[in-house]
Amino acid sequence: MHSNLCWSSTRFPVAVSFILLFLCWSSSSQEKVVWSEQEKPIVEQIKGLRKLDDTVRARTTRELALQIRQLPVVPNKLRLAEALANLSTEGDFGRDTLQEVTTTLATALREEPPAQENGNPNSTYMELASLVKYEHMQASSHNPQFAAAMAKLEADDVKRQSSDFTLTDLQGGNWHLKDLQGKVVLVNFWATWCPPCRKEMPDLQALYDKYKEQGFVVLAISDEEAAKVSPFIVERKISYPVLLDPGRKVNDAFVVEGIPKSFVYDRNGKIVAQSIDMRTRGQFQAMLAQTGLQ
């Protein structure tokens, strides 16, 4: 009998649906995942992480990482480890907590290495590589897929550094990235339906207000229609530029496969910091500090 932990994705926002679908369906066979009695409570807690206060969420995340590490070696263990990792970069829950999550993912990969996906590194190796490269976590793997994942991230960064764009904001003004050299620029990819995107917007606004007179520019890029984005921005009193990328050309140029994602350019036009997920005000502040803004 299948577990009752899976529901129709049409009942949930897209960002939440991704986690539910990830936990409920096998990507290789498209069959429903069946959870053991030991695994079911872990699944329920992972699905409820976003509802928790950050302090409780940090503690729960750490406990879940340790619980998953103790599970028997079965495919569900890697699935749970990746699902937890996907949620553990949504803010700042402490480096020790994120290291436990990273260690659990690396352990699950070592115990039961997954196959490549269409000749590319499996998504679990890409997740581990991202944690190592962008979150500066400690982990290693002798599997060639991990080395390939690290190489892909390096190539993606080269592509991002060379990318340029001209996009139109909600007021009809044009913004050309290369024209902004001499300023500190934070490019933020987001969407109205994305809970972590919405959560970080007030902090972005506060930093924009603090530093805009020092030449700080936020360019928030959405691939949605203006009719959906405009009222959302007005309601939340966002004053930094919001640009539209309806054909996703800029999203694709920056290899944006998940949001929110942010890139910080110094005054010479060099990317000096980036985030793979939601950031807190303190985390954004640390990114901006690499450009000299204090």
Q: State the average pLDDT for the chain.
A: 91
Rounded to whole angstroms, how far apart are CA atoms 270 and 220?
18
Instruction: Give yes or no: residues 171 and 255 share one domain.
Output: yes
Q: What is the CATH number of the domain that holds 249?
A: 3.40.30.10
Paired tokens of 227: 């009719």
Residue 5 has pLDDT above 50, yes or no: no
What's residue 22's pLDDT? 59
Instruction: Give yes or no: residues 167 and 100 share one domain.
Output: no
Summarize pLDDT for 83-142 with one digit per residue, the tens. Answer: 999 999 999 999 999 999 999 999 999 999 999 999 999 999 999 999 999 999 999 999
Rounded to whole angstroms, how far apart are CA atoms 291 and 270?
10
The answer to whether residue 49 is domain-embedded is: yes
The answer to whether residue 260 is domain-embedded is: yes
Summarize pLDDT for 208-240 with one digit per residue, the tens. Answer: 999 999 999 999 999 999 999 999 999 999 999
Instruction: Give yes or no: residues 167 and 32 share one domain.
Output: no
Paired tokens of 105: 């993912």
Instruction: Give yes or no: residues 119 and 239 share one domain.
Output: no
Instruction: Give yes or no: residues 108 and 196 share one domain.
Output: no
The answer to whether residue 209 is domain-embedded is: yes
Which of 139, 157, 175 is the endpoint of a domain? 157
Instruction: Give yes or no: residues 138 and 175 share one domain.
Output: no
The answer to whether residue 1 is domain-embedded is: no
Instruction: Give yes or no: residues 76 and 148 share one domain.
Output: yes
> Alpha helix locations (H) across the chain?
14-24, 40-47, 54-69, 75-87, 95-111, 123-134, 144-162, 195-211, 226-235, 249-253, 281-289
Residue 12 has pLDDT above 70, yes or no: no
Summarize pLDDT for 20-64 with one digit per residue, the tens. Answer: 555 665 555 557 888 999 999 999 999 999 999 999 999 999 999
Q: Domain range for residue 78? A: 9-157
The answer to whether residue 247 is domain-embedded is: yes
Paired tokens of 135: 């979150």
Buried residues in 259-274 as b, exposed as e (16+ CB within 10 A): bbbbbbbbeeeebbbb
Question: What's the structural domain count of the chain?
Answer: 2
Which of 106, 133, 157 is the endpoint of a domain? 157
Residue 18 has pLDDT above 80, yes or no: no
Paired tokens of 256: 């944006």
Instruction: Give yes or no: residues 243 and 111 share one domain.
Output: no
Instruction: Give yes or no: residues 35 and 133 share one domain.
Output: yes
The answer to whether residue 107 is domain-embedded is: yes
Mean pLDDT score, 79-86: 95
Instruction: Give yes or no: residues 251 and 202 share one domain.
Output: yes
Residue 178 has pLDDT above 80, yes or no: yes
Instruction: Give yes or no: residues 177 and 58 share one domain.
Output: no
Summarize pLDDT for 261-294 with one digit per residue, the tens. Answer: 999 999 999 999 999 999 999 999 999 999 999 8
Which of 111, 127, 157 is the endpoint of a domain? 157
Instruction: Give yes or no: residues 153 and 206 share one domain.
Output: no
Summarize pLDDT for 131-171 with one digit per residue, the tens. Answer: 999 999 999 999 999 999 999 999 999 999 999 999 999 99
Residue 1 has pLDDT above 60, yes or no: no
The answer to whether residue 294 is domain-embedded is: no
The answer to whether residue 4 is domain-embedded is: no
Paired tokens of 15: 């960002």
What's residue 125's pLDDT? 97
Residue 8 has pLDDT above 80, yes or no: no
